Amino acid sequence: SSGRATTGTLIKTLVLILGVSLIIFSFRFLWRRLIFGQARRIEEAMRNRLVGQFFLLSPAFYQRRPIGDLMAHVTNDMEAVRMALGMGLVSLVDSFFLGSAAIGFMMYISPGLTAVALLPMPLVAYLTYRLSRVFHKKFESVQVLFSGLMETVRESLVGILVVKAYNLQTRELGRLSELSGQYLDKNLQLARITGTLFPLSLLLTNLSLAIVIWLGGVQVYQGRITTGDFVAFISYLAMLGWPVMALGWVVNLLKRGGVSLERIGRLLDEKPEIADRPGLTAPPAPIRRIAIHNLTFHYPGGEGPVLKGLNLEIAAGQQILFTGRTGSGKTTLAQLLVRLYDPPEGTIALDGQAIHKIPLGYLRSTISLVPQVPFLFSDTLRANLRMADPEAEEAQLWEALSLAALEKEVRAFPEGLETVVGEKGILLSGGQRQRLALARALLFNPPFLILDNTLASVDLSTERQILEALRSRRKGLTTIFISHRLVGLEAVDGVFLFEAGRVAESGRHQTLMEQKGLYSRLYQRQRLENELQEGVF
């Protein structure tokens, strides 16, 4: 009643302040944790979905898009989206509620002064809108440059042996420096935009504060507002300064996230060129025959056909040899048989059923391709082998290595099956990499196995040993050898000699030798070369 504070009143006020502070802390902690946690979960889900999309897309897609560009989407763009959904959203909500509360209290004290204080806000909003549109375009170009930078670094590191062998370090560093400079310039342009918005917001906020102090001081002098109310009004106006200044930063985060989300969305919208049609079911019986009829194929964007009117049949249980000059179409046919590329309708049939009507999962578990350049993951020998059969027992792993003539070498390694092979198997020799890939394929042991020059880096004696093991291991199963080497493969059930996308000669080894054609000449030449290498003459 006397207008003086008592000890009890002060304690109550202090408890009230502490209580309100605790409530504010609790709510802020909970909703920030909720938003940040949800942003992380969304980032994880989007990244998994994007990588899953990569697995669905065909090799033709990866010929158009550099791997470094795709890596930038998985890393840099994902981070921008997470920051927008996390920190951007938190700051937006925080600024909205704090600004709304401050304006509400200001209106309660003096609607007139509040109107004056908010006069610069439309200008701030307009500048933010205009600059955000420019920011959107600039950030898009920044992300494109970052993708190029990632691809350049990836190429240089993957090809590090070539870079060192040809002393290209200076050239590669110059190429990287040029891209880094362009990336820096674009980022500085972005910094100038955000650097313009922050000072402008601060200038307009301080201008508003100066006007309010002048007008408010006049009103206090005239007795239209008390000193306490005026001080409180200034305090609330200061609280409004953070939301206004944070506006530019929030717009920055949201625009970055929006651009990155668009980039990710374009990848997710890519339609797989090779996919199962609705309602497909696996054939009721194992596939016994592959028939190719009038197959003409050219790669997307290619100038001419790689295969031209190709006709051939392969029966289950046979060992077949595809041979011919480089670029004659052998590997292309192998890729079509497992639908890495899609053949024209009606050109390839399995037991009379069009290849497009067979589920991809079933097809690739029935026909397996071991490429000429094997890919090994940067993991142990055991892990690389078990990709073919995760449940394979120890004895099965050693058996597969034995069939591929690699068992003795692996047993000699200090770590044995736990030996880490390095990225792409770089710690192994070329022949060891090929034999490890072969062992993995034999562990999988599909009904139809295509070996594309899998033994090209293996010496002749080891090759003979492996071929003998293959005949025994894959008896009753179909093995297709794609090879330039003819010596050692005389016992195959059929030979197809490719020439310019067509089958120029076909038949058993003895039949083709009697025809005295191209196959016969190639075989005799190779046999002579082998004899010379082995020191017969």
pLDDT band per the 50, 70, 90 thresholds, residue 372? confident
The reply to whether 249 and 306 lie within a common domain is no
- Residue 85 neighbours by CB under 8 Å, 6+ apart: 35, 38, 39, 42, 43, 257
536 has a pLDDT exceeding 60:
no
User: How many angstroms separate the CA atoms of 11 and 2, rounded?
Assistant: 18
| % of the chain beyond a pLDDT of 70 | 98
CA-based nearest residue to 473, from 508, 443, 494: 443
- Between 18 and 348, the more confident residue is 348
- The reply to whether 16 falls in a domain is no
User: Of 219, 234, 268, which residue sits at a domain end?
Assistant: 268
**Which range, 97-111, 156-170, 324-338, is most confident?**
324-338
- The reply to whether 93 falls in a domain is yes
- The reply to whether 275 falls in a domain is no
What is the predicted pLDDT for the residue at 380? Answer: 92
- Tokens linked to 520: 């016969």
* CATH number for 383: 3.40.50.300
DSSP 8-class letter at 296: E
- Tokens linked to 71: 């890596």
323 has a pLDDT exceeding 90:
yes
Min mean pLDDT across 202-211, 287-296, 314-323, 339-348 is at: 202-211
* CATH number for 169: 1.20.1560.10
Q: What average pLDDT does range 396-416 have in this prediction?
A: 93
User: Of 200, 234, 268, which residue sits at a domain end?
Assistant: 268
pLDDT tens digit string along 435-447? Answer: 999 999 999 889 9
- The reply to whether 14 falls in a domain is no
The reply to whether 68 and 160 lie within a common domain is yes
pLDDT tens digit string along 467-514? Answer: 888 888 888 899 999 998 888 888 899 999 999 999 999 999 999 999
- The reply to whether 8 falls in a domain is no
pLDDT band per the 50, 70, 90 thresholds, residue 537? very low
The reply to whether 335 and 237 lie within a common domain is no
The reply to whether 379 and 495 lie within a common domain is yes
Mean pLDDT of all residues belonging to the chain: 87
The reply to whether 200 and 126 lie within a common domain is yes
Give the residue numbers spanning the domain of 53.
30-268
- Residue 83 neighbours by CB under 8 Å, 6+ apart: 253, 256, 257
pLDDT tens digit string along 9-52? Answer: 778 778 877 887 788 778 777 777 788 888 889 999 999 999 99
What is the predicted pLDDT for the residue at 535? Answer: 60
The reply to whether 202 and 306 lie within a common domain is no
Q: What average pLDDT does range 193-207 have in this prediction?
A: 78
What is the predicted pLDDT for the residue at 1? Answer: 43
287 has a pLDDT exceeding 90:
no
The reply to whether 470 and 380 lie within a common domain is yes
54 has a pLDDT exceeding 50:
yes
Q: What average pLDDT does range 371-381 have in this prediction?
A: 87
Dihedral of CA 330/331/334/336: which sign? negative
Q: What average pLDDT does range 235-242 have in this prediction?
A: 81
User: How many angstroms separate the CA atoms of 490 and 510, rounded?
Assistant: 8
The reply to whether 294 and 187 lie within a common domain is no
If one counts the domains in the chain, the total is 2
